[in-house]
Amino acid sequence: MTRKLVTVRKVAAVHPIKGADRIEAVEVDGWTCIAGRGQFRAGDLAVFFEIDSFLPAGDPRWTHLADKFITYTGERGFRVKSARMRGQISQGILEPLDDFPEILAAWVDLEIRHGRREAERLLRETAFEGLLGVKKFEATETAVTATGEPAHKSDQIPMPEFIPRTDQERVQNLPDVFEKWGEEIFQETVKMDGSSMTVYFVRNDSPLMDKLAPLGTEGKQTAAQPNGRFDVCSRNVEKPESQGRYFWASAKKNSLPEKLSRLNRNIALQGELCGSSIQKNFEGFPLGFHDFFVFGAWDIDERRYMKPKETEDLVGRLGLKHVPIVGYHRLGDIARNVQEILARAEGIGINGKKREGIVLKQVDGRFSFKTISNSYLLKHGE
């Protein structure tokens, strides 16, 4: 699922903020953002710009933010971040739908083609960042070079399409999650703030072998195993052995090429690469420490994620590290709403530092979501 940054949403409720008479707190799905008093009422449709949206300076609708413009990838604009005003957290920017004639036009167009009811549903499912020139701000830009990503994007090979990209939806964007999944058992793990890493093994007798990019030619190719092909990817691209510095080092340190070769099945292990040179080492690992913390196993033949328990067992048998497991619980027993799960996300991580949050995965592996701690977002300026 690709993340939608700019969407049309319905205002759920509006609350006054203590000690502030010109602003109020507006709730849209699981998000709370601050808006001018009287600007919105419950039931209004509004345009929501989620945190990490980068709003273009060239759009006159953002002129009032000009003193906070920054330069990102060579362009001026405003980065939407979490903020706190008068003790109230504000996440995202909410604007009246009427200020966006291009979205109103898209709505009319949908209504002509699909009728009134369906048009509103489709409208609320559409991502409008492209239409409004909004980009995603990626804080990992600096980390990209640190992890050895080549400067030229064009010579990168995408991760094989038969393996899903790692991603998690934020609980704030899943308004009915507690109603829908409250009775189900979830695995709760600590969300680690490193770089997404995938290792895979494809057997020589698999038809998917033809879909893999040819191996490099320099030096010894660990990727070529006697019974198949092992390889390492970052979130989106293959990491050739000569370039994927910390990625490959952690794979080799764990003897992953040999272990997956011995396992002899078509599989991808997905996890977080963490250590002193990854991102800003928010987890606080000692200098020089890097490792791969598994959070998922994709069965390539069955085209499904293994169940969390099966993954745990496999990780144990292979002698690998798993992301920390908090436990297994019925979702409704640990939280009944967004506020409660946000409170739960606060806590410490693997090395005793404030953690980024938690990831909840239903026991059959069919569905999962993330809850990022608000204090972590505020602390790191996100």
| Binding interface with ligand AMP (CB under 6 A) | 166-168, 189-192, 196, 272, 295, 323, 359, 370
Check residue 214 and report its DSSP letter.
Answer: P
5 neighbors 134 (Cβ within 8 angstroms): yes
| Minimum distance, C-beta of residue 272 to ligand AMP, in the bound complex (Å) | 4
The alpha carbon torsion through 210, 212, 213, 219 (nearest 10 deg) reads -110
| Minimum distance, C-beta of residue 195 to ligand AMP, in the bound complex (Å) | 7
Q: Which is nearer to ligand AMP, 194 or 257 (CB)?
A: 194
User: Alpha helices of 72-229 — where are they, by DSSP H?
Assistant: 101-114, 116-125, 141-146, 177-181
Q: Which is nearer to ligand AMP, 95 or 149 (CB)?
A: 149
| Minimum distance, C-beta of residue 216 to ligand AMP, in the bound complex (Å) | 25
Q: Which is nearer to ligand AMP, 103 or 190 (CB)?
A: 190
Q: Which is nearer to ligand AMP, 206 or 279 (CB)?
A: 279
Q: Which is nearer to ligand AMP, 76 or 321 (CB)?
A: 321
| Minimum distance, C-beta of residue 259 to ligand AMP, in the bound complex (Å) | 21
133 neighbors 72 (Cβ within 8 angstroms): no
Q: Which is nearer to ligand AMP, 123 or 190 (CB)?
A: 190
What are the residues facing 303 on neighbouring strands?
none
| Minimum distance, C-beta of residue 83 to ligand AMP, in the bound complex (Å) | 18
Order the strands of the 6-17 sheet from edge to edge: 31-36, 20-28, 6-17, 45-49, 93-96
| Minimum distance, C-beta of residue 26 to ligand AMP, in the bound complex (Å) | 24
Instruction: Measure the CA–CA gap between 262 and 317, rounded to whole angstroms.
Output: 12
Instruction: Measure the CA–CA gap between 348 and 340, rounded to whole angstroms.
Output: 17
236 neighbors 165 (Cβ within 8 angstroms): yes
